[in-house]
Amino acid sequence: MDLFTLLQNQLGLFLLIFARISGIFSSAPIFGARNVPTTVKAGLSLIISYILLPLLIRPDFNSPDAFLPYIALVIGEFLIGLILGFACSFIFYGIQMAGSLLDTQIGFGMVNVLDPQFGQQVPLVGNFKYILALLVFLASNGHHLFLAAVFQSFKLIPVSLGVFRPDMANIVVDMVAGIFIIALKISLPVLVSLLLTDVALGILARTMPQMNIFVVGVPGKIIVGIFVLSLALPFYIGFLEVVFNGTFRDIYRLLATFAPV
């Protein structure tokens, strides 16, 4: 039996696989970016679904004959993929949050650039850290691990057998809390140095009232912020690899909550 005949006989299963892959590629980093055309996302989802179909054939799978139960299965598969894609994107949201904190403290709060991936204005330092994180993600084969996690999701959660449990909410809350922790860890060296700079400027303002601290302080904080940022850059790259590993562990924890008993 060739693949085309298999596709005709398993069309219901194929559409459910396509629904989950589409949900993942709608919200995942890089693949789900707004500057990626919808036709490219749909075509990539179609190709991957076509490749996975022979590997996911189940003799016990019976597609519902009624329209509404089948639509409910499609929506459920799409939601599973959407949640998995968002879970993988949380780390990048934390990086952008760290950039927003740094921009405000350094003095770049009004300097924004257009990010084509999100279609909105983003902070200058935040965009730099986000692009660097994407490069580290690709250089460390994070996209390969992500595609492996996509395939593994069908092993842990067979098509049409996914279960939405309350435990999922606890894991998602932990991952959202992790966004704030990651943002604080990334921005902490620069924030501490800028806090010490503010203290020094305050002492200087008390000892030399005739000096215009505002004129001195604004470029001084920019110089200190960029200097400490450049010193912390190697540690930031090493920290990203650790965080990416933790993100994939959280994704597999999330997959376990959808798995049938």
The CA distances from residue 186 to 49, 189, 199, 235, in Å, are: 37, 7, 22, 9
Q: Are 252 and 146 in contact (CB under 8 A)?
A: no
What is the crossing angle of helices 124-139 and 67-106, to 10°?
Answer: 120
pLDDT in 10s for each residue of the chain, 261 residues = 455 555 555 777 888 888 989 888 888 887 777 777 788 888 888 888 888 887 887 777 777 777 788 888 888 889 888 888 888 888 888 888 888 888 877 777 665 655 555 556 667 777 788 888 888 888 888 888 888 888 888 888 888 777 888 888 888 888 888 888 888 888 888 888 888 888 888 888 788 777 777 777 778 888 888 888 888 888 888 888 888 888 888 888 888 888 776
Which spans in the chain are helix H? 3-9, 11-27, 38-52, 67-106, 124-139, 142-156, 167-207, 213-258
Q: Where are the domains of the chain?
A: 3-258
Q: What CA–CA distances, in Å, run from 143 to 35, 69, 88, 146, 239?
A: 18, 34, 11, 5, 18
Q: Give the dihedral sign, CA 89/178/243/165.
A: negative
Neighbours of 24 (CB within 10 A): 28
Q: What pLDDT is recorded for position 17?
A: 87
CA dihedral 72, 175, 253, 259 (to 10 degrees): -10
- pLDDT, residue 141, reads 82
Question: Which pLDDT does position 116 carry in this prediction?
Answer: 57
Residues 142 and 151 sit within 8 Å (Cβ to Cβ):
no
Contact by Cβ (8 Å): 191, 167:
no
